[in-house]
Structure 1
Amino acid sequence: MSRKVFVAGVGMIPFKKPGTSDTYDVMGGNAIREALADAGIEYADVQQAYAGYVYGDSTCGQKALYRVGMTGIPIINVNNNCATGSSALFLARQAVQSGEVDCALAVGFEFMQPGALVSRWNDRAPAMERSHQLVRELVGATDLPPAILQFSGAGRAHMQKYGTKLETFAKIRAKASQHAARNPLALFRNVLSVQDVMEAPMLWDGVITRLMACPPTCGGAAAIIVSEAFARKRGLRTDVLIAGQSLTTDLPSTYDARDMIRVVGFDMTRTGAQKVYEQTGVGPDDIDVIELHDCFAQNELITYEGLGLCGEGEAEKLVNDGDNTYGGKWVVNPSGGLLSKGHPLGATGLAQCYELTHQLRHTAGDRQVKDAKVALAHNVGLGGACVTTLYQSA
């Protein structure tokens, strides 16, 4: 990454439950306005835009952006499952880093329905048909929705292989609630105890309770990505650098290993993290704060190992030592993460960018990580895509 790329502005609206939010275009438009205002530029300064969403017709991005302006610029709509927001950011960063443009906008939004994720296309084979078949073989057919079955199956595999306790997942969920209590943009700000999580209705016997799963959420977030020359010319801030970034997809091992931990993206995570560490010369011990994809408490624990924060099978010790929160080695998901902040699919990756940008600016208020200088974001979508981004204060 020879050309320096900076986050000049970020915007995010409060995440809400389905049925209580504005429409997707209003949410997207409001997030864009906030990002433009934060950067101190006009929409006319943006040269390309990337709009991420999962559930919507073609050109929803245009509808959201047209609420802010109509300047004739390229607008590219992005859908990469739960990694959609970060995929839009990846493309915006790539456009600026390559020299194609000097100012790009990434926006993500989602208008979700209550309940578990389901496909809206019933007249064709699902994109994840191979994954679903393998999960049925490894876990056994159940009445659980696919996402719950996939991640709870991975959690069970970790429990069986390493002796991980259900209580450890509950500790991760309780930690998320403690962090979200400090975040005014989070969907759930009530603090949960480990006992609260353990006593919630069991979704799959002995493996996952309802509180260990993230809720369907509506919301929007955006970021303005600029070159150093553009920032200097306009007097924009250059205090948050995108130092490294990768987008990885599934490897043969996702299926061939017949391991539920790998089915949910472990090897994408590990490969993506290694690429970013090689790009930047930064390792896990150099990182201060992390926003990772905790769609389920089980996936947060597995991701600790995928990102190299600890060895395989050592994540339970990391949790018990308190190395995932304030006072430990890393603060993981200071925003409350997907579990408490919420998970509007298209917005999630850009909400991570919003949080980490404020952490590196030291403007995160009550949730500020002391002396934060290096931040890592991890956003994964099954099917599959994984975006890993390393930010540094500049």
Structure 2
Amino acid sequence: MSHDVLVAGVGMIPFAKPGNHEPYPQMAAKATRQALADAGIAYEQVQQAYVGYVYGDSTAGQRAVYEVGMTGIPVVNVNNNCSTGSTALFLARQAVASGAAECVLALGFEHMSPGALGAQFTDRPSPFDRFEAATEQIVGHSEIPLALRYFGGAGLAHMEQYGTKLSTFAKIRAKASRHAANNPLALFRNLVSEEDVLNAPVMWPGVMTRLMACPPTCGAAAAIICSAEFAQRHGLRNEVRIKAQSMTTDRPVAFESRDMREVVGFSMAQAAAEQVYAAAGVGPMDVDVVELHDCFAHNELITYEALGLCPVGGAEKFVCDGANTYGGQVVTNPSGGLLSKGHPLGATGLAQCFELTHQLRGTAEQRQVPNARLALQHNLGLGGACVVTLYERV
């Protein structure tokens, strides 16, 4: 038996640069308390908790929720790279949909360090060794940080096949800044123009400037997930339902295609989106608002195609036509996305949930997408996992 699953409450703290934030238990507790208050319930009514983070010791999830309460409930620690927050959401939804629990906390937080991401354990095989080998064969440039080679290489593949211009990625970053200017929780709220982006320090000549990459960020976000029956019994808000959700991992094409777009999860995202559309009985043209994983402007462009928002090869036209913003076909990343809002890995997926929940409630203030009814979330973690979630205004 599958139960209707609602997002009853959401919470999020402002994202911050490393070193300019509270310790992770306090960040996580604040986001959790906000979600509980938004839902109108006490922590004692929560029956399970799924807590996501990437950079932290085992049972840091318990350390975080113990700040809110010690009720003896199961606390599951989740780590799925950059899709960690949405994986916690996926597990919470499964628990409620299956009837294993009626009210569940999904929480994500991250305490990051400055600079490029790197391995924490160097005395054992890396989970990225196959990704690194494929990237070295396809693009080389071992002097460039690996994440830049992954996503810059994917953008370069699109440029080489379709003639996509560097300025198109700059347009995406400028759009992100316009959206973030209306988001008080975003890390960067300053407006940048296409020219500003192109004139930023070069990280890969002809492929990427610094402003095309998201910054390391610290923060926390949370959601209270419950059944429709639980919400009705307790008089909770019921405007937002998880209509469909899918999680996928890599297939052999990731390494066999010799295409950096596949290395960074194009087919993984495409499959998750197709499963969600099929389960919900809708298509990408029915979606009103999207929060997608724009860790680099290049990945936002590629993801338009993976999610079916435009034809494969049509992403540059999609951007240049303004189809990705207010007044266009679908508003993408009204929060400012990872590029402007920031990307605290474990919190990102739940920050996307926070934004889309407010969009469907009609409470997104200056960011509000008019008459939003269907909202799509895409959260990607290399290594790999992709979670796509479709929310519906009830």
Q: TM-score surpassing 0.5?
A: yes
Query: Percent of aligned pairs with the same residue?
Result: 65
Give the alignment's Cα RMSD to 1 decimal.
Answer: 0.6
What's the offset of the Cα at 1:311?
1.2
Contact in 1 for aligned 2:248/2:271 (Cα 8 Å): yes
Residue pairs, 1:318-333, within 5 angstroms: 318-333=318-333
Matched, 1:257 2:220: no
Q: Within 2, Cα distance between the matches of 1:92 and 1:359?
A: 21
Residue pairs, 1:110-259, within 5 angstroms: 110-259=110-259
Q: Within 2, Cα distance between the matches of 1:218 and 1:32?
A: 16
Deviations along 1:39-73, whole A, 9 cap, x unmatched?
00000000000000000000000000000000000
Which residue type is aligned with residue 301 of structure 1? L
Identify unmatched segments of 5+ residues in structure 1.
none
Q: Within 2, Cα distance between the matches of 1:182 and 1:132?
A: 38
2:13 aligns to what?
Answer: 13
Q: Within 1, Cα distance between the matches of 2:17 and 2:345?
A: 13
Which residue type is aligned with residue 297 of structure 2? A
2:294 aligns to what?
Answer: 294
Deviations along 1:141-196, whole A, 9 cap, x unmatched?
32111111100000101000010000000000000000000000000000000000
Q: Within 1, Cα distance between the matches of 2:358 and 2:8?
A: 11
Local SS of the residue matching 1:122: coil
Q: Within 2, Cα distance between the matches of 1:177 and 1:198?
A: 14
Contact in 1 for aligned 2:127/2:383 (Cα 8 Å): yes
Residue pairs, 1:333-352, within 5 angstroms: 333-352=333-352
Matched, 1:267 2:267: yes
Moved over 3 A (4+): none
Q: TM-score, normalised by structure 1?
A: 0.99
Contact in 1 for aligned 2:54/2:345 (Cα 8 Å): yes
Q: Within 2, Cα distance between the matches of 1:340 and 1:224?
A: 25
Q: Within 1, Cα distance between the matches of 2:141 and 2:335?
A: 35
Local SS of the residue matching 2:153: helix
Which residue type is aligned with residue 45 of structure 1? Q
Matched, 1:98 2:82: no
What's the offset of the Cα at 1:211?
0.2
Q: TM-score, normalised by structure 2?
A: 0.99
What's the offset of the Cα at 1:224?
0.2
Which residue type is aligned with residue 5 of structure 2? V
Local SS of the residue matching 2:211: helix
Q: Within 2, Cα distance between the matches of 1:144 and 1:187?
A: 25
Local SS of the residue matching 2:274: helix
Contact in 1 for aligned 2:104/2:224 (Cα 8 Å): yes
Identify unmatched segments of 5+ residues in structure 2.
none
Q: Within 1, Cα distance between the matches of 2:185 and 2:214?
A: 16
1:84 aligns to what?
Answer: 84
Which residue type is aligned with residue 76 of structure 1? V
1:44 aligns to what?
Answer: 44
Contact in 1 for aligned 2:18/2:217 (Cα 8 Å): yes
Contact in 1 for aligned 2:141/2:149 (Cα 8 Å): no
What's the offset of the Cα at 1:282?
1.2
